[in-house]
Amino acid sequence: MRFVINDTDIETDIDPRTSLLDLLREQIGLTGTKKGCNQGACGACTVLVDGERILSCLALAVQYEGRQVTTVEGLADQAGLHPLQKAFIEHDGFQCGYCTPGQLCSAIGMAAELQRGLPSHVTGDLSAMAIRATREELAERMSGNLCRCGAHNGIIDAIDEVFGERRGQQGYDAEMPEKVA
């Protein structure tokens, strides 16, 4: 079967039981995407498919033939780290680093959802033309990505800086890379 992962075509035979997560980690060797629970409860395995965030542990790999899969390994480009990756380092948005790839991919997918105007549980005005990217909105929308070290403040600070209401204020470019936007 043919997969497109981080803009690279990959041909591989797979056991139909294989999850997208195990395809990435065990067959292709892209171990940046993490397995925390393998049952959709922690968010560590979050990747982007055609720009949308999904839990790769709950996805059968065969469903994703030919679709654009972006993992944490695909966030940086020749120009260097993605602005969100830089912001995570600056704001200490991780300790052990195990939930980090999922937080990063999830945040990028989440930002696109905000831009499309998808409301969340804490959105006050459902009829508003645009949703304000408040810290509460960001925190609610990131709540599917668990962190046990307790880096929550740094994670939200980093996301706020790149995608939130204050974006651009700290010298980071708020533009998202085209391939995942």
Q: Residue 10 CB, nearest distance to another protein (Å)?
A: 17
Is residue 147 at the binding interface for another protein, with CB under 8 A as the rule? yes
Q: Which residues of 124-143 are buried (b: 16+ CB within 10 A; e: fewer)?
A: eeeeeeebebeeebbbebbe
- Window 13-72: residues binding another protein (CB under 8 A): 15, 17-18, 22, 25-26, 29-42, 44, 71-72
One-letter-per-residue 3-state SS of 53-79: EEEHHHCEHHHHCCCEEECHHHCCECC
Is residue 12 at the binding interface for another protein, with CB under 8 A as the rule? no
**Contact code string over 89-128 relative to another protein, x by CB under 8 A:** xx-x-xxxxxxxx--x-----------------x------
Residue among 4, 20, 1 nearest 61 (CA):
20
Residue among 39, 30, 11, 16 nearest 70 (CA):
30
- Residue whose CB is less far from another protein, 82 or 129: 82
Residues that bind another protein (CB under 8 A): 15, 17-18, 22, 25-26, 29-42, 44, 71-73, 75-76, 81, 85, 88-90, 92, 94-101, 104, 122, 135-136, 138-140, 142-156
